[in-house]
Amino acid sequence: MWLSLQAAHQRLADLTHHTAVPAYLDHVNRYTFAAASHVLIGDTAVPGYKYRQQWRFLDRDIQKAGKRLAGLAIDPGDLVDAGLEAGEPHTWRSRVWQWISQATYESELPQMQGPGVLSKDFAGQQLPEAFTRRTIASTRPLPLMVWSGKEWLVPRAYAAVLDRAEEVEAGLAAQDDVCSGCGTPAGREQWRSSSASGFVVLCPSCAAQASRPYTGHLRGRQYTKGFARRSPAEVFLCRMCPEPRRALYWDHCHSHGLFRGPLCVKCNNSEGAHGFIDRPGGVEHLLQCTDCRAQRTLPLQHHADIVRRLAVFEPHAACTHELSWRWFYAEDDGSVVARFRCYQHQPELAWSVTVPSDGVKLLVRRFIDEAIGSGP
């Protein structure tokens, strides 16, 4: 039986809430699987599946992992030195060290600079909730830890679970980082691409063989969800990625409803964010909308970046320094507000300038004219 992410979290919580080490999946979301095809519950890897465009778990997998964790003989009183260290990255010990360091700093508790900085028997559970809820292998280590006066202690059997979880994680990561087409070790995150059935790892060579370049045959056509379902974008390569990478979405202009072209998940998500026009090929992609091109316009979310690129602002009368900070954002009426701040002033100097919508339109037209190399 399929379980939604929320249902899987509840199932796991029900299976383990009475144990020494409760487990949780409330940290899992659809972005979790962009990095790995599984999640760890204790030292058990549980695969995620993409079913009907939603990430899910199998109930039997959750029950198996939950029962295994619940059955471990973990004595909260059998404590050992956790061996926390700041050095080696990506280990559970270094992550917990960073959390405790940050938690003691933000809560104004004595920081971990040596023995005696915290009172003996200070419990990890006393740290701020924002930190005690953090998970490793779907468990929360901080509530299980206690300060001896010299080092942080953790249940011996629980430390062994986290050590085994790291070994399992390392082995699965090696499998996840191999091209599914030719077996070449990936070593690069961008080889991992989303598909309708989950994430796949394809090297540029195999991606180029599995999908073909988009030649613009839909330029000027109206986007419809029905067409996108009948003609999946996966048969094409992302038209933004510098190396061949399988597309997943048909990107379209939300102002005019016209096709732009196929994009991978990362490029499709970045189109709605600041800075897209700064990406190589970003402006060219936006102008695949023939109405944007003809009308010399772009969707509103890109106007602030255009003003940032082209507008010239007079310096503040009281400021002769180089600006420390500036931010631009588009208002619903089409104007763009430019906010400036100089930290070298005491008190700090902050001011804003509004570029009216008519001025923004002129800048957008000029920007597009320069981009396509034609006159007005």
230 has a pLDDT exceeding 70:
yes
pLDDT digits (tens, 9 = 90+) for 267-316: 998 998 889 999 999 999 999 999 999 999 999 999 999 999 999 888 88
SS3 262: strand
What type of residue is 356?
A: P
Cβ-count burial of 40 within 10 angstroms (0-12 exposed, 13-18 middle, 19+ buried)? buried
Instruction: Kindly report, residue by residue over 117-131, the tens digit of the pLDDT.
Output: 566 668 788 888 889
Which tokens in the block code for residue 99? 């959390």
pLDDT band for position 109 (50/70/90)? low
CA separation for the pair 36, 32 (Å, rounded): 7
Is-contact 37 47, C-beta < 8 A?
Answer: yes
CA distance 206 to 209: 5
Q: Which residues of 147-173 are buried (b: 16+ CB within 10 A; e: fewer)?
A: beeeebbbbebbbebbeebbebbeebe
Predicted local confidence at residue 190, as pLDDT: 63
- Distance, in Å, from the CA atom of 376 to the CA atom of 370, rounded to the nearest integer, reads 10
